[in-house]
Each structure stands twice: as structure tokens, then as C-alpha cells.
Amino acid sequence: MSRVIRQHRRGPVDSQRSVDAWTREADAVALPRVSEVEAQGRPGTVGTVYSEYEYGALADEQELVWPAEGESAARPYQVEAEGLASADTATAFLLAASEKEVQEAQADYQDAVRVLTPYIRRESGAKVRYWVCWPLLILGDMAGVWSAAVVNGDIPFIAFWQALASGVAAGCAGLVGSELKDLRMAQARQRDPESLGKDEQRYWRLFTGAGKGMAVVRLVGLLSLLVVALLALGIAILRSSIEGGEAGLTFGLLAAATALGSGLLGYTAADEVADLVGTMENRLRRAVKRHFKLASSAAPRQRAQALEEARSIKSEYQLRGHGAAKRVESLSWRVQRNNVHVLGHGFPAGEPSGVIGRKARRGDRS
């Protein structure tokens, strides 16, 4: 009988074959006739017959064998889950820290938006326009230097890098425009420290820094003008040596215009408050991205899948064991029904739970 039960791994079809085998075995059980019994009820002289004990024990066996088989089937998944436990614990720790980081970044960003939005002066799309136009100005200035250097006989590869450095210098010379814009906006926001609200005190630097660092800005401005002058002069001399004085003057002025245009572009796009809010928004985006990356890590997902697979298998085999036990119990009643000449057709009236001496339910051997 146990050999038949252990074929369960082949699926429901083999389980049905096991049931059929039990049924054939139960049908083959025959109790010897002791005497002719004409009574319809179970004789009071008959207690618990041996077949009832046999099938009761077999039913108990099913509730042990099937869970054991379930434990065996679930073992690979449990081993896999245990192997992933350390990685899962580490990921959970990092996720907790990442969640805190996301919450802090979200709170800082919302606070900055709520407090500083009224002080933002940069128009929508100005930053995009800046990052589109600024490289074009650099490339335009670079093209004039590169072509002149190549025509003058320089090696194209070397001339390229010299021209690129010249173009970047012209673009950087215009960055002073953003500093001038920030100083002007800081003066417009200038407030007495005592007048700042509780929320604004966190950003006191934006309201009390006007006029500070003006000497440094003047120095940077003078250096930027010097760079513009040197670039214009250098390109003018280079072009003059190749194409004449008029062409040299033209390209020199264009180089100066490029640097000045970079300064104006930086001036229009500058907004210290908007940059601060944007920085906090980028910080929030990065924190959320890291959090999602950790949340989608393979180790926690695989461990959860393995644990669920093991739980489901054990639950399935536990239920199969209960079902098999009930089936064996029903076969015990089938044996009694097929032997009415000894056990009668049922319990006498008034004894619904069975005659004295017979077990009232499985598990009770009294």
C-alpha cells in the first residue's frame, strides 16, 4: 500500500490510480461468516473488527506520508531560499536606508518648492535653451580657429584640439554673465535677517548674501574681458596672415561676439533659486532611482519566490494527505458495507455514534 502512495509525484492521474487500487483492495476484503445473521442492525456482540483497525492505521499513515513527500519536494526551494538569506538581509538593510533617503529628499524638495517658488525668475525653457545654444557658440568659435589653423599649415588633428580649447575658453568667458545675474537677483531678494519667516530661515543665504563677493565677481569679469580680447586678437592675427586685414578683423570681431553672446546667454538663464530647487529635484530623482533598483534586486525576489513555492508545495501535500486519509476511512466503511452478513446494514436505532466498544471516530481505538 505504501508503494502505491509514494507514486504521487506523477500528478493527479497517478493519485486516482492509487485510489482505484485501494478500492480494489477494499472490495477484496471478506470477513469469514461466523453464523447466519438475519438482523439488519450491527450485532451488539461485534466490536471493532480488525479491518477497521487496519484502515484506521492506514489513514493515519497517509497524514504522515504525504507531508513527508511534500517536505521532500519543497526541499530544493527551501535550500535556495536559505542560500539567498544573507543577500536578502543586506538588501533589506539598504532598502530601509534608501527609503529614508527618499523620504528626506522628498521632504526637502517639497519644502523648497513651497518656500522658494515665489522667488524663481527664470522663464520656462530658458535652461534648455542655454544648454542647446552654449555648445553651438563653442563649436562656431572653434570652427573659425580650426579652419584657419589648417589653412595655415597646422596638422589637422593638433589644430582640432587647439581650436576646441579656444572655443571652450570663449564659452567659459561668458559664464561671468550668470554671476552678474545672481548678484542682481540677490539684491532684489535682500531681506533683514530678523524679518525672515521660520521656513525662510533655512534658506537665509539666498536673502542675506547680496553684495558679498562683489570684488571677486569684478575680478572674474575683468579676466573674462581679457580672455575675450586675447581670443579676438589672436584670431584676427591668424586670419590676417592668411586672408588679409579685413578678414582678420571680421573673424576677430566674430570671436569677441561669440564670447559676449555666451555671457548674455548665461545672464538670461541664471537663477540661483531655480538652480537650488532643481538640484533638490535631481537629488530626489536619483534617490528614487536607487530605491527602485534596490527594490528590484534579484536576491529578495528569488528568495520570496522560493519560499512561496515551498509553502505552496507543503500546503498541497498536506491537503492531499488529509484527502487520502478520508479516502482510506471511507474504504473502511466500504468493507463493512460489503460484509453486511457479519456487520449488518448499519447501527441500531438510538446508537448513531456506533455500538459500545467500537471507535466513534478515527484516532479513537477504544
Higher pLDDT, 349 or 302: 302
Contact 236, 213 (CB under 8 A): no
Residues 16 and 23: their CA atoms lie apart, in Å, by 10
- pLDDT above 60 for 1: no
pTM of model > 0.75: no
For the stretch 288-347, pLDDT in tens is 999 999 988 899 899 999 999 999 999 999 999 999 999 988 888 888 888 877 887 777
* Residue 346 exposure: Cα atoms within 13 Å on the Cβ side: 6
**How confident is residue 105, by pLDDT bands cut at 50, 70 and 90?**
very high
Across the range 181-186, mean pLDDT stands at 81
Q: In whole angstroms, how far apart are CA 340 and each of 61, 144, 334, 347?
A: 27, 114, 10, 11
At 314 the pLDDT is 93
Contact 275, 206 (CB under 8 A): no
Mean pLDDT computed over every residue of the chain: 81
- What values do phi and psi take at 41, rounded to 5? -85, 165
